[in-house]
Amino acid sequence: MAGKDRILVLGPTGAIGRHIVWASVKAGNPTYVLVRDTPQNVNKPRLVTAANPETRDELLHNFQNSGVFLIQGDMNDHQSLVNAIKQVDVVICSFGRLLIEDQVKIIAAIKEAGNVKRFFPSEFGLDVDRHDAVEPVREVFEEKAKIRRIIEAEGVPYTYLCCHAFTGYFLRNLAQIDTTVPPRDKIFIQGDGNVKGAYVTEADVGTYTVEAANDPNTLNKAVHIRLPANYLTLNEIVSLWEKKIGKSLEKIHVPEEKVLKDIQELSFPNNYLLALYHSQQIRGDAVYDIDPTRDVEASEAYPYVKYTTVDEYLNQFL
C-alpha cells in the first residue's frame, strides 16, 4: 500500500490551522508546517481567543513533540516557500482574512514547484460562490472568490472547503455580541430565527479537511460541511439551550433593517461578526442545493466520522 500524502499546513497556529495539523497527524499523514522566525503580531478578538486559548509557542512545541516537521520560511520569501512546497504533496492554507489576497504568492510557488497534487486555499466558511453577504464580509468573500478564479485559470489542482459556521464563533455565544458564553436571561435573534444554519466545531473541520485531502473524489470540487444534527435554525438551537438550563429566555427579534444599521455603525470585530451572523441567519447563505458535478457533501462522503453535535457542544457551558 502506498504511503499517505505529505501535507503542508500554512497558518498552522491560527484558529483553524491548528486543528488541521492535529487531524493530519491523527490520520497518519506526514505533516509539515511553515513557521516564521518573527510571527505577525495580531490582536485577536476575545471570541477567537476564548475558542483557541493555546498560544503559538505552546502549539509549536506540541507539534514538534508529535512528529510534525517544522519548516522555517515565510510566504513573502518566494524561494523558502518553493523549497517547503517541494517537500510535500498537498498544501492547505488557513490564513486569516487579512492575508487572503496574498495567496497569489502560494499559487506562484506551487506552479514553480510543480509537484503539488492538491491545494486547499483559505476558505473555511460559507461558499464564496453562493452568498448574499453585506460589507465588511462581502469584500472578504469576493477576495476568496478571486483566488478561486486564479487557481482555476492557472490549472492548479484544488479542493475548496466550505464549512460554514465555526462553533467557536457562532455557538459559544449563540451569536450574541460582546460575550463568550451563551446567554441565560435574554437573547437577540436576527430576523425570525427560522433560517437554517450549518454549525461545526473547528476540530471537526480539521478532520473533514484531511478526509477530503486523502480522497481522490474531491479533486477540483468543493466540499460542504452541513452535518445533519447541526443543520439547525437559531430557534432550534435556543430551544436546545433552554432545555439544558431549565428556563426560557426572553427573545428579542431584531429586524433586518436594524441589523444592517448596526453593522454600519459598529467597529471591528463586532461589525464583522454581525455581518457573518446576518449572512447565515437572515440571508440563508447556508441553504442551497448540492451540484454533484462540482460539490461533495461531507456527511455523505464520510459517514463514519463521528462529529460533535450542537447538543453535545453546548454541554460544556452548563
pLDDT tens sequence across 50-86: 677 778 898 999 999 999 999 999 999 999 999 999 9
* pLDDT given for residue 45 in this prediction: 67
In this prediction, residue 28 has a pLDDT band, given cuts at 50, 70 and 90, of very high
- pLDDT tens for 204-250 read 999 999 999 999 999 999 999 999 999 999 999 999 999 999 999 99
| Average pLDDT value over all residues in the chain | 95
> What's the CA gap between 271 and 263, in Å, rounded?
5
pLDDT per position as a tens digit, 140-182: 999 999 999 999 999 999 999 999 999 998 999 999 999 999 9
Establish whether 144 is a catalytic residue: yes
Q: Which residue has the cell 506551487?
A: 110
Confidence tier at 1 by pLDDT (50, 70, 90): very low
Q: Does residue 26 surpass a pLDDT of 90? A: yes
Chain-centre distance of CA 176, in angstroms? 19
For the stretch 258-281, pLDDT in tens is: 999 999 999 999 999 999 999 999
What whole-number percentage of the chain has pLDDT above 90? 91
Q: How far is CA 65 from CA 4, 31, 92, in A?
A: 20, 12, 21
Q: For the beta carbon of residue 316, count every other beta carbon within 10 angstroms.
A: 9
Instruction: Give the residue with greater pLDDT, 3 vs 275.
Output: 275
Of these residues, 105, 144, 196, 251, which one is catalytic? 144
Flag whether pLDDT at 186 surpasses 50: yes
Residues 6+ apart with CB under 8 A from 11: 17, 93, 94, 95, 96, 99, 122
Domains and CATH numbers, the chain: 7-317 (3.40.50.720)
Q: Cell triple for residue 168?
A: 467557536
